[in-house]
Amino acid sequence: MARPMNIACLQTRPRPDFESALEEALTLSEKAVGQGAELVALPEYCGGLKTEGAMFAPPAAPEEEHPVLKGLTEFAKAQKVWVIIGSVAVPGLGGKIRNRGFVVDSKGCIQGRYDKIHLFDIELSEAEIYRESALVSGGEKASVLDAPFARIGHTICYDLRFPGLYRNLAQAGAEILVVPAAFTKQTGQAHWHVLNRARAIENGAFVVAPCAIGLVEGGGESYGHSLVVNPWGEVLADGGELPGVVQTTIDLDQVAIARRKIPSLTHDRPYDLVHEPKPHSA
């Protein structure tokens, strides 16, 4: 018996302030719901993003005062639709922020929170260096949420490179793995599609990966190509290189089917790692 669900990824642009970020998010959300979306997913830092040199500098506000969070929860309630808020910046400890995502139900209530665990500290070239940890405190807890339609595992962007996190979520029953992102154009061109497909295949799960598109104020560029990938690793929808809505209907029964065919989530075995000595030359 099929379990169909209409899913929309919103491919928004990185916006430097709350007002423009919310305006674009609501415009695309309305379009998605008008096309039948039951779950709307937004990218990482959909509440605003800019950079200052190697540092991320998104606008931040407490949850109870955050205008983008407030606007999107009100939208979810008014439209009776579930919303994945990929992430917004909220104050953390020691003058840093948290890169925090939310799952909002169709009554506008926050049902899940997730603070990005793995922070984007990389050096792509002498001119392109990112130090997310300079401003952001990493999270410590993975997140699995039971929604009426499926169990959801929430991750964010750079987490995608850590397959153990996704395996833990899948072994906890996650059927949909969400990967909101602002992947850089350079790393996206090289790795975005293959990593998302790999996480789907390894875990027999749907991957829903909304990714921002376009230039970031202060430097940097997001890749776009928001994806929906089925448990067999097939790309069902790809947002391409323009802002907009990428939408498709999935059948959640495919998760159980894929896991029956390849039950690798139950095949883990303990093992010892042996470092063999370097052979002696004769």
The 10s digit of each residue's pLDDT in 37-78 is 999 999 999 999 998 887 888 999 999 999 999 999 999 999
CA–CA distance, 265 with 268 (Å, rounded to integer): 7
Instruction: Answer yes or no: is 279 within a domain.
Output: no
Predicted confidence (pLDDT) per residue in 100-125, tens digit: 999 999 999 999 999 999 998 888 77
Residue 279: the pLDDT is 79
Instruction: Answer yes or no: is 280 within a domain.
Output: no
Higher-confidence residue: 246 or 282? 246
Residue showing tokens 């498709």: 248
Predicted confidence (pLDDT) per residue in 118-158, tens digit: 998 888 777 777 888 889 999 999 999 999 999 999 999 99
Segment holding 18, helix H or strand E = helix 18-34
Catalytic residue of the set 9, 46, 50, 157: 157
CA–CA distance, 117 with 133 (Å, rounded to integer): 11
pTM for the structure as a whole? 0.95
Predicted confidence (pLDDT) per residue in 222-278, tens digit: 999 999 999 999 999 999 999 999 999 999 999 999 999 999 999 999 999 998 888
pLDDT higher than threshold 70 for residue 22: yes
Q: Which residues contact 264 (CB under 8 A, 6 or more apart)?
A: 202, 204
Q: Give catalytic status of residue 50 as yes or no.
A: no
Instruction: Answer yes or no: is 197 within a domain.
Output: yes
Instruction: Answer yes or no: is 132 within a domain.
Output: yes
Instruction: Answer yes or no: is 150 within a domain.
Output: yes
For a pLDDT cut of 70, what percent of the chain falls above it? Answer: 99
pLDDT higher than threshold 80 for residue 282: no
Residue 182: the pLDDT is 96
Instruction: Answer yes or no: is 270 within a domain.
Output: no
Residue 1: the pLDDT is 65
Instruction: Answer yes or no: is 275 within a domain.
Output: no
DSSP 114: E
Residue 280: the pLDDT is 74
Instruction: Answer yes or no: is 281 within a domain.
Output: no
- CATH number for the domain harbouring residue 245: 3.60.110.10
Q: In total, how many domains does the chain have?
A: 1
Domain that holds residue 199: 4-262
Average pLDDT over residues 190-218: 98
Predicted confidence (pLDDT) per residue in 153-175, tens digit: 999 999 999 999 999 999 999 99
Which two three-digit tokens encode residue 4?
Answer: 């169909």
First to last CA, the chain: 66
Catalytic residue of the set 9, 44, 132, 211: 44
Which two three-digit tokens encode residue 133?
Answer: 């940890």
Q: Give catalytic status of residue 116 as yes or no.
A: yes
Catalytic residue of the set 50, 116, 175, 221: 116
Cβ pair 181, 187 in contact under 8 A = no
